[in-house]
Structure 1
Amino acid sequence: MPELTYTRHEGQDAADALDVFLPAYEEIYAEPPYLEGPRDVADFIEHYAAQAKRPGMRLVLAHDGPDVVGFTYGYYLAPDTRWWANIQDVQLPPEETREDGRRTFVIIELAVRRAWRRRRVAATLHNVLLEDVHAERVTLTVRPEPEAAPARQAYEAWGYHRVGTSHPWEDAPLYDCMVRHLQQAPPAAP
C-alpha cells in the first residue's frame, strides 16, 4: 500500500479545495450518527464558503494516490465569536470565554473515510493542522452518540477535555465541546 500524503491549504487555496474533498465529506457524513443527505451537504457547502474566509483558515487533506481519504480544517476564533455562548449546561467564567482573534484555534471538521480509520490518519491530520498554530488553546466539538466514541477517545488521548454541551444553532444536535491547552498564557504583569 502506498504511503499517504498530506497537503495543507490556507486562505483562498483552502476555499478553492472544497470540490477536492467534498466526495469524502459526503461519504463520511452519510454514516451514523450524522445521516446527512443532500440538504445537509448543501448547508455544509454554504457554511464552508463563509468559514474559508475566516482569519487563520487552514485545511489539511490526506491523500491515498488521487483519492482524498480524510480532511480537517479550522481557524482562529474572532473576538465576537458565539462559540462559548453556545455552551448550554455550564456558565464559563468570563476569562475562559474572552477571545482576541488569536487566543483559540477551533477545529471545525476532522474526518476520515471508513477504510482508512485506525491507521493514525486522523492523528496525522490533527498534527499537520496544528503545526505553526500560535494559540493558547484549541477547541472542537464531538457528537455524544456511541458511534462517535472512537473520536472522543482519540481527542481525550490527544489532551482534550470536555468543558460543556454545545448547541451551535437552533436545529443543531447537541455536541460535547472540548478544549486542549497548547501553551500557557503569558504571566500577568506585577
Structure 2
Amino acid sequence: MTATAALELRTFTTIDDVRGDLLDVYADVRSDLLHLPNYSVTAFGERLDRHGAEPGFVAVVAYSDGFPVGYAYANTIEHGDRYWERTNPPPSDRHTDGPVAALKEIGVRRPWRKTGTARRIHDALLARRVEPFVTLMVNPVAGDGKVYALYESWAYEEIGQSQPSPSSPLLKVMIRPTVWPPR
C-alpha cells in the first residue's frame, strides 16, 4: 500500500455501514494523542455515534486497494445548535440563520498525507452538501499550526473559538461558503 495507489472515494449516509473503518483510521491518525481523554478511541466513538445520529450525516472514506486511508464526515447544524452556542464570540446571523454543514472530523493516514488525499475527501464531502456554509473546529497547535494553515488555504476564515467539552483543547471555529469559489 502506497500513497501513489489509486484512491476510491465512497460515500456513506448511515454510521453503521462505516463505523469500523472510521474508528480504525482515527486510531492510526491520532495514535500519538490517544492517551489524552478527549482523543481516546472511546471518546471518538461516542462523538461519532452522536454525530452519526444527527441530521444530514454523511461520511466520505478514501480506500486504496480496499484499505481505508482517510475520511471526513459532517452533519447539518441549525441556528441555536449547541455548536453555535459554545462559539465565542457568537457568530453573525449571516452564517447561522439557516442550516450549515459542520465538518466534524477529517483524517488521513500518514503515508497518504501531502498527496492531496485530504483535499479530495473534503471536496467530495462538500459536493454532496446543500447548506450555503460549512464550518469546522481546529486545534490551532495541531501539526505545529500546519492544519490551521491548511484550512486557511482552503478558504476557511476564523470566526471564533470553542471548547466543546471540558477535556477538549480550545479550538478555533472556522467557516467558508460550501461552494468555493462562490458562484
- Same fold by TM-score, threshold 0.5 exceeded? yes
- Aligned counterpart, 1:37: 35
TM-score, normalised to structure 2, is: 0.86
Tell me, in whole angstroms, the C-alpha distance in 2 between the residues paired with 1:97 and 1:148.
28
1:82 is aligned with what amino acid? Answer: R
C-alpha deviation, 1:170, in angstroms:
2.2
- Aligned counterpart, 1:87: 87
- Aligned counterpart, 1:19: 20
Contact 2:77 2:100 in 1 (8 A): yes
Aligned-residue Cα RMSD (Å) equals 2.0
Q: How many residues align?
A: 174
- Aligned counterpart, 2:116: 120
Structure 2, gaps ≥5 residues long: none
- Aligned counterpart, 1:52: 52
The correspondence for 1:182, drawn from 175, 178, 182, is: 178
Structure number with bigger Rg: 1
The correspondence for 2:10, drawn from 7, 10, 18, is: 7
Identity of aligned residues (%): 25
- Judged with a 3 Å threshold, the aligned counterparts in structure 2 of structure 1 residues 127 and 23 are, in CA distance, closer, same or farther, namely same
- Judged with a 3 Å threshold, the aligned counterparts in structure 2 of structure 1 residues 147 and 76 are, in CA distance, closer, same or farther, namely same
SS in 2 for 1:46: helix
- Judged with a 3 Å threshold, the aligned counterparts in structure 2 of structure 1 residues 64 and 181 are, in CA distance, closer, same or farther, namely same
SS in 2 for 1:83: helix
C-alpha deviation, 1:168, in angstroms:
1.0
SS in 2 for 1:72: strand
C-alpha deviation, 1:15, in angstroms:
3.0
SS in 1 for 2:123: helix
C-alpha deviation, 1:146, in angstroms:
5.3
Tell me, in whole angstroms, the C-alpha distance in 1 between the residues paired with 2:107 and 2:161.
21
SS in 2 for 1:170: coil
C-alpha deviation, 1:153, in angstroms:
1.9
Name whichever of 63-72 and 119-128 sits farther off.
63-72
Contact 1:15 1:49 in 2 (8 A): no
C-alpha deviation, 1:84, in angstroms:
1.6
C-alpha deviation, 1:182, in angstroms:
3.1
1:68 is aligned with what amino acid? Answer: P
Contact 2:142 2:148 in 1 (8 A): no
Superposed, 1:162-181 pairs within 5 Å as: 162-181=158-177
- Aligned counterpart, 1:70: 70
Contact 1:81 1:99 in 2 (8 A): no
C-alpha deviation, 1:36, in angstroms:
1.6
Contact 2:70 2:117 in 1 (8 A): yes
